[in-house]
Amino acid sequence: MTFLIAVAMLGLIIFVHELGHFLTAKFFKMPVSEFSIGMGPQVFSLDTKETTYSFRAIPIGGYVNIEGMEVGSQVENGFNSKPAYQRFIVLFAGVFMNFLTAFLIIFSIAQMSGRMEYEEKAIIGALVKGGANEQVLKVDDKILELDGKKITLWTDIPEVTKEAIDKKEISVVIERDGKEQKLVLKLTKDEENNRVVLGISPKSKKTNLSFTESLVFAKNSFISILKDTVGGLFTIFSGKADLKEISGPVGILKVVGEVSKFGWTSIASLAVILSINIGVLNLLPIPALDGGRIIFVLLELFRIKVNKKWEENLHKFGMVVLLFFIVMISVNDVWKLFN
């Protein structure tokens, strides 16, 4: 089931990306010989007078084959025969569709789920099922002290547990039904994030959002995720990121499996993050990617001539390097799964 969810999610993200290229190419009357979802051997195809629509065996990737991108191509209305601004729009359309999809998903989540507002006071709203303290604490317990330190706000709790990372138990003073009680809680180690947790969460309430409020929420969330994505890429290219933190298609399967336990909202949120990530990655000024091709189109717009044969060879080299990194990251993902 996890595999199917991951394939469907990646398939949707790739589909909307390629759809952007396809629709704009058709709009500018560029000939499109094939619109493919997936890579590898062809499984199913539908041939029309102008375009072949196909599904291929490997459910990762996809492409739109716009004719006239090769040097010296004589195809009528081919890509390279069109004005630079039209080529820019076609190249950017894929990224735009990824960003638009992410925005619409966030907006839809906001409309259907509203906004969760969390209580600032240290009052327990829920306990992790099967957690170490499920039988000790109760919903609506108010935490007054933790490890001898006074607790006023919920945000005080992680500050205390951060200092107790080497402990297995911690003392707590709670208020329950108007009476104070002293208890001892067990600490659970969260290895992945190198912290200890109590297995509790704050009280919260759902607030419905209007159409306008949902638009504002979607805009702010989109910008926040976009900034985080760009910041993460700077960290990677600066050499500060650990290889363990970088994942590819195989690693996504694991993440989808973990996220799917928390319902459709979490899956949709992951789709938002992936869609924005793929959009940003495609904008990188790397040969073979949309961003790399856009750089050369922008040079044309500023009347800076570039040798087309040299440009084509650079894109071919970029594709080889890109495939190498995809294989390297995938091997790293498999290694992490087995370790």
Catalytic residue numbers?
18
What does 21-82 look like in DSSP terms, one character per residue? HHHHHHHTT--EEEEEEEEEEEEEEEE-SS-EEEEEEEEEEEEEEETT-STT---TT-GGGS
Q: Among 274, 312, 120, 24, which residue's Cα sits nearest to residue 282?
A: 274
Cα–Cα distance for residue pair 166/164, rounded to 1 Å: 6
Q: How buried is 30 (Cβ within 10 angstroms: 0-12 exposed, 13-18 middle, 19+ buried)? A: buried
CB 246 within 8 A of CB 326: no
Half-sphere exposure (Cβ direction) of 134: Cα atoms closer than 13 Å: 6
Distance CA 184, CA 167 (A): 12
Query: DSSP class of residue 289?
Result: S
The token pair at 194 is 């190198």
Cα torsion 16, 22, 25, 29: sign: negative
Side chain identity at residue 277, one-letter code: N
Angle between helix 2-27 and 264-283 (nearest 10): 50
Written as one string, the DSSP assignment of 160-228 is: HHHHTTT-SEEEEEEEETTEEEEEEEE-EEETTTTEEE-SEEE-EEEE---HHHHHHHHHHHHHHHHHH
- What whole-number distance in Å separates Cα of residue 138 and Cα of residue 17? 48
